[in-house]
Amino acid sequence: MEPSGQMPFEQITAPKQRKGWGGWKILWGLITALSILANVVLFGLLFFVLTFAISGVSGRDYYQEVVIQKGPFMDKDKIVVINLEGVIDENVSRDISAQLKQATADRKVKGLIISINSPGGLVSASDQIYNEIHKFRHESGIPVVAFMHGVAASGGYYASVACEKIVAEPTTITGSIGVILNYFVLQDLLEGKLGIEPVVIKSGLRKDWPSIYRKPSNEELKYLEDTLVVYYYQRFVDIVAESRKALSVEQVRGLADGSIYSADKACKEKLIDKVGYFDEAVGEVLRLAGLESAKVVEYRHPFSWVNLLNMKADNVLKIDRSTLTELSTPQIMYLWSIH
């Protein structure tokens, strides 16, 4: 008999676990992890595509303003710095033109500084930049000052004379007023080393002057000098004489033998206006604009996937018909170079 008032004893056992439940938990965990990972990848891909699309447009048509000197509080007037750097080619010319257009559309811009660090480059591209700066000055009425630093020679100097005033750092190398024409002669390589004999069929005697397939005759060299070098040299001299009012054509020609000049020497010869640093260039713009102060901004390319990929693509050596044509085409240049 069990004691009175007490419930009968019941044996309590743990519920039996379902077989296979641990495997399902692992499976669902993997599915969840893969789902989260797929969403992260999809979001990243979507972000990349949108950034690529937006930067592809803005990278070409828009330049970001970066403040490099703050003006007084609530001062809306701007001085814009446009950088002209490296060897001047068609891409540099288009870049400068686009920045000038952006400055033209901004009514807050009261002055421009063209910051030049370039040994020059292609004749046509240098002349295009000169023309764009000259046109901006006369159509907008906004003062433009060139600020030279490093090297501002040949085509770099050509572009600078489009500005109202020129300021150069004390260590600047400038000058090199003149023209140079370069091309390769591959006759010995092709015929002597590779056994390749070129065949040229032409409509006239001078059609292939100069030719990369043979050494030039004295007649060819004289023809190229008279036709190209003399003409573009004279244009360079005339542009400098027209822009630098203190110099006559004869005085410019006396300086235009290809010589390079220090900033101090260039100032004494009236090729530039002032030796100084960036602050002097800013002060010169303020004076010409009739302003006491303004913030100074610099135009820069915003980050662009398109530009990044293009840079990588440009670094890949590509030998195609256009590359070969470019290498074999004589280049006439306003360029200070060491051979």
What pLDDT digit, counting tens, does each position of 291-338 carry?
A: 999 999 999 987 655 555 555 455 555 555 565 566 667 789 999 986
Q: Of 154, 160, 176, 211, which is the active-site residue?
A: 154
Q: Return the higher-pLDDT residue of 322 and 214.
A: 214
Residue 264 CB partners (closer than 8 Å, separation 6+): 170, 275
Mean pLDDT of the chain, nearest integer = 84
- Cis (ω within 30 of 0) for the bond into 198? no
| pLDDT of 58 higher than 50 | no
- Helical pair 123-140 and 90-105, crossing angle rounded to 10 deg: 10
Mean pLDDT of 78-107: 96
* pLDDT for 257: 96
| Whether the predicted pLDDT of 152 surpasses 60 | yes
Q: Compute the CA torsion angle 135, 228, 254, 171 (nearest 10 deg).
A: 60
Q: Does the active-site annotation cover 93?
A: no
pLDDT at position 228, please?
Answer: 93
Query: For 32-47, how does the pLDDT look when each residue is reduced to its tens digit (9 = 90+)?
Result: 767 777 666 676 666 5
The number of beta carbons lying within 10 Å of the beta carbon of residue 106 is: 12
Asked if residue 69 has pLDDT above 80, the reply is yes
Instruction: Report residue 195 as tokens.
Output: 């056994």
Average confidence (pLDDT) over 73-101: 94
- Report helix, strand or coil for 188: helix
Neighbouring residues of 175: CB distance < 8 A, sequence distance ≥ 6: 153, 157, 255, 259, 260, 261, 266, 271
Query: Does 262 or 55 have the greater pLDDT score?
Result: 262
pLDDT at 27 over 80: no
Choose between 273 and 309: higher pLDDT. Answer: 273
Residue 50 has pLDDT above 60, yes or no: no
The residue-averaged pLDDT of 244-249 equals: 96
Query: Is residue 54 scored above 60 in pLDDT?
Result: no
Residues in CB range of 177: below 8 A, 6 or more apart: 154, 157, 236, 237, 240, 252, 255, 256, 257, 258, 259
Pairing of strands 274-275, 165-168: parallel
Rounded CA-CA distance 155/253 in Å is 16
Please tell me the predicted confidence (pLDDT) of residue 24: 67
pLDDT at 314: 56
Catalytic residue among 25, 76, 101, 207: 207
Residues of the chain with pLDDT > 90, as a percent, come to 60
Inter-residue contact 157 to 301 (CB < 8 Å): no
Please give the residue that has the higher pLDDT: either 254 or 319: 254
Q: Region 27-31: what's the mean pLDDT? A: 69
Q: For this structure, is 207 an active site residue? A: yes
Whole-prediction pTM value?
Answer: 0.78
